Chain A
Amino acid sequence: GAVVSQHPSWVICKSGTSVKIECRSLDFQATTMFWYRQFPKQSLMLMATSNEGSKATYEQGVEKDKFLINHASLTLSTLTVTSAHPEDSSFYICSARAWDSLSKALTSPLHFGNGTRLTVT
């Protein structure tokens, strides 16, 4: 259980275009999803927290107008990289935390998608 699907796995786009990445929780409801970015040979850095039905919370230094996040349902969050530039080339990974409807609590382990490798030429 607790599968997170991310699409696409990789994408190449031209500078100035926009790219949308989808993150889906397949077998559980995720009221909260997280978007991370990983540059080569570095760790994962949290970009933003995506809450279903409300605005995302961005980490310091992350441009909210450049990285648009939409979490319109309990199973889908999207990250759109707008007007992409070569410096946006990176590995983007989403994760989700399951909502336990019985205890009305967020179960603690985070489940991760397989990531999207973005290359901007």
Chain B
Amino acid sequence: GIQVEQSPPDLILQEGANSTLRCNFSDSVNNLQWFHQNPWGQLINLFYIPSGTKQNGRLSATTVATERYSLLYISSSQTTDSGVYFCAVGYGNKLVFGAGTILRVKS
């Protein structure tokens, strides 16, 4: 099966700082999504980005499918950005999740 690795596993930021989260995958994929899971467990769909670059406010994402990685950028972080960020890749008809990055933003 496909391997999905996220880094770093944990990240602590001071409010206002920028960060980059990385997702590496071991095979060609037909889908890639970034999610934010809030403390109540709700998965917020941040980006559907099988390739290219997208931006949404303070967040942006880039996927380089040929090199099998994706990056999620968070700029000017806020305490409400805290939570777990998951990368998930489409492999066949399945969406396979990475282990996640736990982000804590301190005020």
Contacts and interface: CB of A to CB of B under 8 A. Distances in A.
Interface stretch (A17-25, A41-49, A64-72, A80-88): A41-49
Nearest to A107: B48
Contacts of A95: 95
Interface centre among A49, A93, A112, A115 (most CB of B within 10 A): A112
Nearest to A44: B97
Main secondary structure of the interface of A (DSSP, over half): strand
A77 B41 CA distance: 20
Contacts of B100: 43
A76 to B, nearest CB: 20
Interface string A91-113: 10101000000000010111110
A112 B94 contact: no
A109 B95 CA distance: 9
B31 interface: yes
B30 interface: yes
Given A43-B100, A93-B43, A108 B50 contact: yes
A110 B88 CA distance: 10
A43 B97 contact: yes
Contacts of A43: 86, 97-100
A59 B42 CA distance: 23
3 nearest A-B pairs in the assembled complex, by CB-CB distance: A109-B48, A112-B43, A44-B97
Interface of A: 32, 34, 36, 38, 42-46, 49, 91, 93, 95, 106, 108-112, 114-115, 117
25 contacts: A32-B93, A36-B97, A38-B41, A43-B98, A43-B99, A43-B100, A44-B88, A44-B97, A46-B94, A49-B93, A93-B41, A106-B93, A108-B31, A109-B31, A110-B31, A110-B33, A110-B95, A111-B45, A112-B35, A112-B45, A114-B40, A115-B41, A115-B42, A115-B43, A117-B41
Interface of B: 30-31, 33, 35, 40-43, 45, 48, 50, 86, 88, 90, 93-100
Given A108-B31, A112-B43, A114-B40, 12 more contacts: A32-B93, A38-B41, A43-B99, A43-B100, A49-B93, A106-B93, A108-B30, A109-B45, A110-B95, A114-B42, A115-B41, A117-B41
